[in-house]
Amino acid sequence: MDKTEEFKRILVGVDDSEDAQMGFRYAIREAKKIDATLIITSILEGNEMNVYQALDKDHVRSERTKLEENIKAYQQRAKEAGVEKVEVIVEEGIAGAVIVKKVIPASKADLLVIGSNSNKKKGLKRLLGSQAEYIAKNSPISVMIVR
């Protein structure tokens, strides 16, 4: 890849999973190496709440506030690691669909980095696929799946 073809805006999806941490570390290294903007996103997923929590606006607002604080910590980690340009995006919904349909267009990213370690998934999760698979199939930009 010559200099004119390098990625300029790297989007990475984060949560507290081991897979996401691998993707985050890789995205930091790449952003530093090519002096790209790093865009960190995290999605508040309603399906991780029970029905009562999802209907409680105060609970949802509280969860979003926690997520926003968490993503600021990721932003700080990236800056401390030497990434100069770091942006953050927090959204709500089903992670894969929201990243593909909202976050990628809004961020103007040209590379998406996600962590996925399907070897650890068992039972239905392995059979039904994952968010990483959905994103890889539907993303309008290049996707780097880190294992």
CB 103 within 8 A of CB 11: yes
Predicted pLDDT at 60: 66
Predicted pLDDT at 123: 44
Banded model confidence at residue 51, pLDDT cuts 50, 70, 90: low
The number of domains in the chain is 1
DSSP 8-state code for residue 93? S
Among residues 72, 51, 138, 48, which one has the least CA distance to residue 100? Answer: 138
- Is 112 buried (19+), middle (13-18) or exposed (0-12) by CB count in 10 A? buried
Expressed as residue numbers, the domain containing 22 is 3-146
d(CA 140, CA 125): 25
- pLDDT mean over 55-66: 74
Among residues 73, 68, 62, 107, which one has the least CA distance to residue 87? Answer: 107
Q: Where is pLDDT greater, at 118 or 136?
A: 136
**What are the pLDDT digits (tens) for 116-132?**
865 555 444 443 347 78
d(CA 87, CA 117): 26
- pLDDT mean over 78-87: 97
Structure tokens at 18: 């081991």
- pLDDT mean over 62-85: 93
Among residues 26, 19, 69, which one has the least CA distance to residue 44? Answer: 69
d(CA 51, CA 39): 31
CATH number of domain containing 57: 3.40.50.620
Predicted pLDDT at 133: 84
